[in-house]
Amino acid sequence: MKANGKEVRSVEYDKERNVIRLIDQRALPEELKFFEVGDYKEACYAIKDMVVRGAPAIGVTAAFAMAQAHLQKKDLKEVAGALRATRPTAYDLNYAIDRMLESEDPLRAAMEYYDSILDKGKRIGDYGEALIRDGSTVMTHCNAGALATADYGTALAPIRRAKEKGKKIKVLVSETRPRLQGAKLTAWELSNEGIEYYIIADGASGYFMKKGMVDLIIVGADRIASNGDFANKIGTYEKSVLAKENGVPFYVAAPVSTFDFSIDTGSEIPIEERSEDEVLFISGKRIAPQNSRALNPAFDVTPCDYVTGFITEYGVFKPEEIKKIREKNHYAQGRVA
Amino acid sequence: MKANGKEVRSVEYDKERNVIRLIDQRALPEELKFFEVGDYKEACYAIKDMVVRGAPAIGVTAAFAMAQAHLQKKDLKEVAGALRATRPTAYDLNYAIDRMLESEDPLRAAMEYYDSILDKGKRIGDYGEALIRDGSTVMTHCNAGALATADYGTALAPIRRAKEKGKKIKVLVSETRPRLQGAKLTAWELSNEGIEYYIIADGASGYFMKKGMVDLIIVGADRIASNGDFANKIGTYEKSVLAKENGVPFYVAAPVSTFDFSIDTGSEIPIEERSEDEVLFISGKRIAPQNSRALNPAFDVTPCDYVTGFITEYGVFKPEEIKKIREKNHYAQGRVA
């Protein structure tokens, strides 16, 4: 991805120093700075505190943290347990850790996993781009971009690709309270790519759909159940219901590593509850009266009925076609058989 | 309403000094301070800049501003025009100004209007309270409380009354970006009244409805068309669609002065677009990249199909019963005949 004209990646591994270098997403858009992970405890901190976030990016960070720990002769089962405990909803984390545990050469496996995520983003971009007509307005939520993967993105990949192919598009970015990943991160990416975008309050999404100003919605996912129910950033479910009500196509862009074929429906997905302070403070400033309480579920589950299609590295599938995704992915197929 | 244990009102008129005293709502919840309006230009500023906001509170402020201008021997037509131009969506503003223009004694008319708004809030509270079962969780949006009227409120009136009657209730307050009237104003009112509340991100409303944690929703309104379509703070439409999808009763609390019987449907309601900076800055701090653009409609229109009932000073009416409200209100009836 571009940042001030240069190419950067949100997750990189420095083989010589055995260090993982992350873009510190907490500092964006004000400042592009990096955070170095020297061991798995630092990796756990980086994931929990959202230095790095986005299901695929958490997955690759965990993969490198496992490889790093292997080289440091740590007990990989213990490391895996600590990493898994950081964030309960994102499935790529478990997927990546499982692959590392099963590998005889974790570093090679991590590098392959990383390359595959980059490649999958591009394939998602190609398949998704075909859904975006020239002149369209696309709505997205939270950040499912290069920052959330390693490069290129999931939901933003088709948008990037459409721009590369010369299509004139606009993006409506819902700011995504409480952590404002839309206003801070997605806007930062789109700004760097020179894509026209407008930030809107989360509650304004329905207004624009009802006015006929949204041609399609593309979001990412943190975990997708076998039936197509999926967890994503809080606010996604609302958009899906409003999209159906207003006849707006609603797509989920995710690599197969986000599919959890061990669960049947979304009711089995654990939902992370984060600190009340994420709601009660913005940029360190309290917005509510002293002693106010808040409820802060970080994700919600969207039933498959609201999904038009899943944009994956194997193509675009309807919820009822998820079996085909599983069949195409021998690894996923074998692991849960 | 209570503020730090004392009784205050958001709008008051000081007859001796011919001055309107407003709670400066821009300073809450950090500080309770007052803003004095000495002439209609200051009244226009106070309404535009949202020192005072909420359709009924804007109405009483405009009524006093007309009375004040009359005593100052100003041209009332000119004053009325300036006041009407401040905020296009709220209908009470027009309703109040029309009443003052038709009156031979604007001060007396303004005092009567003010008293009637206080009385209507209490009656809305009584009718609405009957809809709230003991142990319920009520969701509301923005601020339709004492601050938005003069005292007591519209959507918050039934909640206040339920508390007074000893019912144990909880309130889910959606923070209401961009201006955060939920987190700042509604939370401040509920905190002062000792009512249990939890602030949530706007995008989390659907999550709690889907989990069955919301027994009913009560919101205010800025303008209601003859068929029951109504304008209210941006985000209201989303809540109404999600409420219907999840079988949650959805009520609109408003005095008859909010009904605009001169229009048939919500498509005729003008929607105010406010500054992009309301979205791009929070507490004076930029949240998005430099040069980001935002779209900031201040209101949305909810079609009557999503409304369970209107809680008015005459009782609770279904959308198809709005004719009855008009019949009960001779003033409204006569004026638009």
Spell out which residues of chain A touch residue B201, defining contact as CB-CB under 8 Å: 177-178, 202, 234-235, 279, 296
Of A207, A288, A296, the CB nearest to B234: A207
Q: Which of A85, A118, A151 is the last residue of a domain?
A: A118
Clarify whether A222 is annotated catalytic: yes
- Residue range B266-317, pLDDT digits in tens: 999 999 999 999 999 999 999 999 999 999 999 999 999 999 999 999 999 9
pLDDT on residue A314: 96
Q: Which of A118, A140, A167 is the last residue of a domain?
A: A118
In this structure, the answer to whether residues A96 and A225 fall within a common structural domain is no
- Residue range B150-176, pLDDT digits in tens: 899 999 999 999 999 999 999 999 999
Distance between CA A286 and CA A278 in Å, rounded?
10
CB-CB under 8 Å, A210 with B292: no
pLDDT on residue B316: 97
pLDDT on residue B143: 97
Spell out which residues of chain A touch residue B188, defining contact as CB-CB under 8 Å: 289
Of B238, B283, B293, the CB nearest to A282: B283
pLDDT on residue A331: 59
Domain count within chain A: 2
Interface test with A, best of B238, B273, B282 (most A CBs within 10 A): B238
In this structure, the answer to whether residues B58 and B187 fall within a common structural domain is no
In this structure, the answer to whether residues B182 and B330 fall within a common structural domain is yes
In this structure, the answer to whether residues A198 and A309 fall within a common structural domain is yes
Domain membership of residue A87 as a residue range: 2-118
In our burial notation (b when 16+ CB lie closer than 10 A, e otherwise), range B113-125 reads bbebbbebbbbbb
CB-CB under 8 Å, A187 with B288: yes
pTM over cut 0.90: yes
CB-CB under 8 Å, B208 with A291: no
Query: Does the structure show a pLDDT above 80 at B329?
Result: no
Spell out which residues of chain A touch residue B185, defining contact as CB-CB under 8 Å: none
CATH number, domain of B8, equals 1.20.120.420
Regions in chain A scoring below 70 on pLDDT:
330-337
Spell out which residues of chain B touch residue A170, defining contact as CB-CB under 8 Å: none
In this structure, the answer to whether residues A257 and A158 fall within a common structural domain is yes
Query: In the sheet where B19-23 sits, what is the strand order?
Result: B11-14, B19-23, B34-37
DSSP string for residues in B193-250? HT-EEEEE-GGGHHHHHHTT--SEEEE--SEEETTS-EEEETTHHHHHHHHHHTT--E
- Residue range B248-265, pLDDT digits in tens: 999 999 999 999 999 999
In this structure, the answer to whether residues B188 and B54 fall within a common structural domain is no
Q: How far is CA B61 from CA B38, B179, B180, in A?
A: 12, 21, 22
Q: Which of A118, A150, A184 is the last residue of a domain?
A: A118
How many residues are listed for chain A in this entry? 337
CB-CB under 8 Å, A203 with B203: yes
pLDDT on residue B331: 59
Q: What is the mean pLDDT of residues B313-326?
A: 93
Those residues with Cβ within 8 angstroms of residue A172's Cβ, 6 or more apart along the chain or in another chain: A137, A138, A139, A140, A197, A198, A200, A205, A208, A213, A214, B295
Of B177, B207, B233, the CB nearest to A202: B177
Query: Does the structure show a pLDDT above 50 at B196?
Result: yes
Distance between CA B298 and CA A13 in Å, rounded?
46
CATH number, domain of B263, equals 3.40.50.10470
> What confidence category does residue B336 fall into, taking pLDDT thresholds of 50, 70 and 90?
very low
- Residue range A192-240, pLDDT digits in tens: 999 999 999 999 999 999 999 999 999 999 999 999 999 999 999 999 9
Confirm whether the ipTM is greater than 0.90: yes
- Residue range A64-102, pLDDT digits in tens: 999 999 999 999 999 999 999 999 999 999 999 999 999
